[in-house]
Amino acid sequence: MKPFEYRAVHSVEEAVSVLAEYGSDARILAGGTDLLIELRKQNVKTPKVVIDISFIKELRGIESPNGTVMLQSLTTHSEIVNSKVVQQYASLLTGAASVIGSPQIRNKGTVGGNIMNAATCADTVPPLIALGAKITLKSKTNSRQIDLSDLFIKPYQTKAKPEEILTEIQFPKLSSNVKSSFIKLGRRNALSISRLSVAAILTQDKNGKITDARIVPGAALPVWRRVTEAEILLIGKKPSKELFTAAGQKVSEVMISHTGRRWSTEYKEPVIATLVRRALEMCVGDLKDLKDLKDLKD
Ligand SMILES: Cc1cc2nc3c(=O)[nH]c(=O)nc-3n(C[C@H](O)[C@H](O)[C@H](O)COP(=O)(O)OP(=O)(O)OC[C@H]3O[C@@H](n4cnc5c(N)ncnc54)[C@H](O)[C@@H]3O)c2cc1C
C-alpha cells in the first residue's frame, strides 16, 4: 500500500470541507472492509488523503420517522440485523444483512459503504431498491436526495460527485400485510459473496390476488433495477407455481437481453429463474426451508 495522508473527521461539516478541498484526490473510509482491500491492489490510484468518517456520531443510528425507516450511512450490517424497526418494517433487509460476510465483517461493514462501493454483489442494494429507498448526498454547498436506483452508472461507479458524502438512506415502511424475501446464492454457505440474489416484495388483497409486486435481482444485471417486465405478469393473479415460474423465466430473459450470452449464461439462466420463483414462494409462505438451494450451487 502506498502512503497517503490520514484525516479523522468528527462531523459531516468537517468531512465535506475536507472533500471540497481535495475532490477526487480524497477517499472516504467508513468500515474499511472494501476500501482497505482496494488500496492494497497494485494498479489502484492512491488517494492523497483518506478521510475516516467512522467517528461521526450523527451518521450512526436507525430511526422510523413518519411512516419511513431512516438508516444513517454508518449503520453496520450487525446493527441492521439486530434492529427491531428493520425486522418489523423491512424484513428482507434484515435477511440480506444477516448473510453478509462473517460476524466481523458485519460488525465493521456499513450500509453506506456497501452502497457506495457499488459492487454488483452488494447484498443490501437489491432489498433497498425493492423498498423504494432514497439516499441523501451532501457536499459543502449542496444537499440532494435521489432514488437509490438512480445512483449507479456501472459496477463500481456511481453518479455521486467526488466532493459528496452519503449521509442517509430512507424508505417507506412495509405494512404488516406485505410480504418480502431475500435469497442469496453463493459458492458456499458462509463468508460468501453473492453469485446471484433476489429481493422480492408481494402485496395481496383479501382474496389472495397480487396487487403489487417488486422483484430486484442482484449480480444479474449491469446495474440494479426492478424487473417490471416480470412484476406485471403477477398483478391481478393468485399465486401459483406456474405463475411464479413464468415470472422467474421473464427475469432470466431480461437478464440475457442486457448481458448477452456469455460463458456463465448456461448456469445463470436457469438459476436466476429458480431463485425468483423461490423468493416469490417465500413471500407467500410456500418455501420456508432454504436447504434445497444447495442443489443450485456449482
Ligand atoms: C471477507 C469479506 C466478506 C464480504 N462479504 C460480503 C457479502 O457477503 N456481501 C456484501 O454485500 N459485501 C461483502 N463484503 C464487502 C464489504 O464488507 C461491504 O461492501 C461493506 O458494507 C462495505 O462497507 P464499509 O463501511 O466497510 O465500506 P468502506 O470499505 O469503508 O468503503 C467502501 C467504499 O464506499 C465509499 N464510502 C463509504 N462510506 C461512504 C459514504 N458515507 N459516502 C460516500 N462514500 C462512502 C468508500 O470511499 C469506498 O469507496 C465483504 C468483504 C470482505 C472483506
For residue 298, the model assigns a pLDDT of 40
Same domain, 191 and 137: no
Same domain, 160 and 204: no
Please give the tally of structural domains in the chain: 3
Same domain, 163 and 183: no
Same domain, 269 and 168: no
Query: CATH number for the domain including 21?
Result: 3.30.43.10
Do residues 67 and 42 lie in contact, with contact meaning Cβ atoms separated by under 8 Å?
A: no
pTM of the model: 0.95
In a domain, 28, yes or no: yes
- Name all residues whose Cβ lies below 6 A of ligand 1: 27-35, 37, 73, 100-101, 105, 108-110, 112-114, 116-117, 121-123, 165-166, 191, 193
Ligand 1 centre to CA of 113 (Å) is 4
Name the residue with the closest Cα to ligand 1, atom 38: 113
Same domain, 71 and 163: yes
Last residue of a domain, one of 131, 154, 172: 172
In a domain, 294, yes or no: no
Name the residue with the closest Cα to ligand 1, atom 4: 101
Same domain, 145 and 63: yes
Ligand 1 centre to CA of 201 (Å) is 25
Q: For residue 14, which of 45, 47, 55 has the smallest C-alpha distance?
A: 55
For residue 39, the model assigns a pLDDT of 92
Instruction: Give the ligand 1 atom nearest the CA of 35.
Output: 29
Instruction: Give the ligand 1 atom nearest the CA of 164.
Output: 43
In a domain, 92, yes or no: yes
Concatenated DSSP letters for 112-141? HHHHHH--TT-TTHHHHHHTT-EEEEE-SS
Same domain, 281 and 182: yes
Instruction: Give the ligand 1 atom nearest the CA of 167.
Output: 41
In a domain, 297, yes or no: no
Ligand 1 centre to CA of 115 (Å) is 8
Strand, coil or helix: what is 223? coil
Instruction: Give the ligand 1 atom nearest the CA of 166.
Output: 42
Ligand 1 centre to CA of 53 (Å) is 13
Ligand 1 centre to CA of 140 (Å) is 24
Tens digit of pLDDT per residue, the chain (298 long)?
778 999 999 999 999 999 999 999 999 999 999 999 999 988 888 999 999 999 999 999 999 999 999 999 999 999 999 999 999 999 999 999 999 999 999 999 999 999 999 999 999 999 999 999 999 999 999 999 999 999 999 999 999 999 999 999 999 999 999 999 999 997 666 666 778 999 999 999 999 999 999 999 999 998 999 999 999 999 999 999 999 999 999 999 999 999 888 888 888 999 999 999 999 999 998 665 454 455 554 4
Range of the domain at 103: 57-172
Same domain, 76 and 158: yes
Name the residue with the closest Cα to ligand 1, atom 5: 101
Same domain, 112 and 146: yes
In a domain, 148, yes or no: yes
CA distance 121 to 113: 13
Ligand 1 centre to CA of 221 (Å) is 20
Same domain, 209 and 244: yes
In a domain, 84, yes or no: yes
In a domain, 295, yes or no: no
Name the residue with the closest Cα to ligand 1, atom 11: 122
Same domain, 142 and 166: yes
**β-pairing verdict for 152-154 and 62-63:** unpaired
Same domain, 138 and 238: no
Q: For residue 163, which of 143, 134, 135 has the smallest C-alpha distance?
A: 143
Last residue of a domain, one of 140, 172, 204: 172
Query: CATH number for the domain including 208?
Result: 3.30.390.50
Tell me the backbone φ, ψ of residue 149, rounded to 5 degrees.
Answer: -65, -15
In a domain, 134, yes or no: yes
Instruction: Give the ligand 1 atom nearest the CA of 111.
Output: 21
Ligand 1 centre to CA of 225 (Å) is 20
Instruction: Give the ligand 1 atom nearest the CA of 192.
Output: 8
